[in-house]
Amino acid sequence: MALPTNQQVKRAMVDYARRQRPPIKVGPGLNAGSNKWGPAARTLAWRITRRVKDVKTTTRKTPELCRLVGFKVVPIIIEHDWKWNGSLGKRAGNPPFIVVHNQAGTGPPEAIHAYHKSLGWLGIAYHYVVRLDGSVHRGRPEWAMGGHTAHYGNTIGVMFEGNYDLRRTMPRPQREAGLALIADLKRRYKVPVRGHREMPLNYTSCPGKHFPLAAMKGV
């Protein structure tokens, strides 16, 4: 993900801090004209993020902080030349939801595609796969019907590598990439996020009890 410069983020943090009620204190020594991310910038980042529920408190210039203070952060999507078991169906209109899943395991999107084909499906059922290392892979194109949520093929499906019934913490690269992807999808489609288990007639624990669902919904 390409992030704004330190200088741009510091200026945006100052504007954001002054708009809050009560205002967030901007300490001395920030020097918004400099591109250095020094102690004053780290302190202000911490003061800003600690006030917002479901935003991870940080002193770093993270994608989540950049989004919070007003920047659009879009992940780089890795494309694949998938071979499908037939023709993909086209969704009519916008998706009603973005549905998030966990893989309940680990492995590359190529393995998911091969497994889904072995079940007699068209191929990988999700529109996106977010790996533990933060890489984001395209599954089905966004215009296509998904195969990830029973009775809701017209939704956008985003799958996160890992079993979040067992894995208690999402790695920072995966969390930041996932939040950036979800934020971009929500901005473009103006639809809410749902966990797989929240969809009617889908009897599952997915995306897992430790999955940061509230953060994905709130981005």
Confidence grade of residue 2 (pLDDT, cut at 50, 70, 90): confident
| Cα separation values, 185 from 34, 47, 72, 173, 182, Å | 33, 28, 12, 18, 5
Whether 186 and 86 map to the same domain: the answer is yes
Domain limit, last residue, from 68, 94, 121:
68
The CATH number of the domain holding residue 106 is: 3.40.80.10
Percent of the chain whose predicted confidence (pLDDT) is above 70: 100
Percent of the chain whose predicted confidence (pLDDT) is above 90: 84
Whether 146 and 60 map to the same domain: the answer is no
Confidence grade of residue 74 (pLDDT, cut at 50, 70, 90): confident
What is the domain count for the chain?
Answer: 2
Whether 63 and 86 map to the same domain: the answer is no
- pLDDT, tens digit, for every residue of 40-67? 999 999 999 999 877 889 999 998 899 8
Q: For position 189, what pLDDT does the model report? A: 95
Q: For position 207, what pLDDT does the model report? A: 97
Q: What is the mean pLDDT of residues 163-187?
A: 94
Q: Give the predicted TM-score (pTM) of the model.
A: 0.80
Whether 136 and 214 map to the same domain: the answer is yes
Whether 37 and 106 map to the same domain: the answer is no
Whether 48 and 130 map to the same domain: the answer is no
Whether 16 and 44 map to the same domain: the answer is yes
Whether 148 and 51 map to the same domain: the answer is no
Rounded Cα distance between 26 and 160, Å, is 37
Q: For position 181, what pLDDT does the model report? A: 95
Q: What is the domain extent for residue 32?
A: 6-68
- pLDDT, tens digit, for every residue of 126-163? 999 999 999 999 999 999 999 999 999 999 999 999 99
Q: What is the mean pLDDT of residues 207-218?
A: 95
Whether 64 and 86 map to the same domain: the answer is no
Q: Quick check: is 82 in a domain? A: yes
Q: For position 32, what pLDDT does the model report? A: 86
DSSP output for 119-133 = TTSSS---SEEE-TT
Q: For position 196, what pLDDT does the model report? A: 98
Beta carbons within 8 Å of 203's beta carbon, 6+ residues apart: none
- The enclosing H or E element of 137 equals strand 136-138
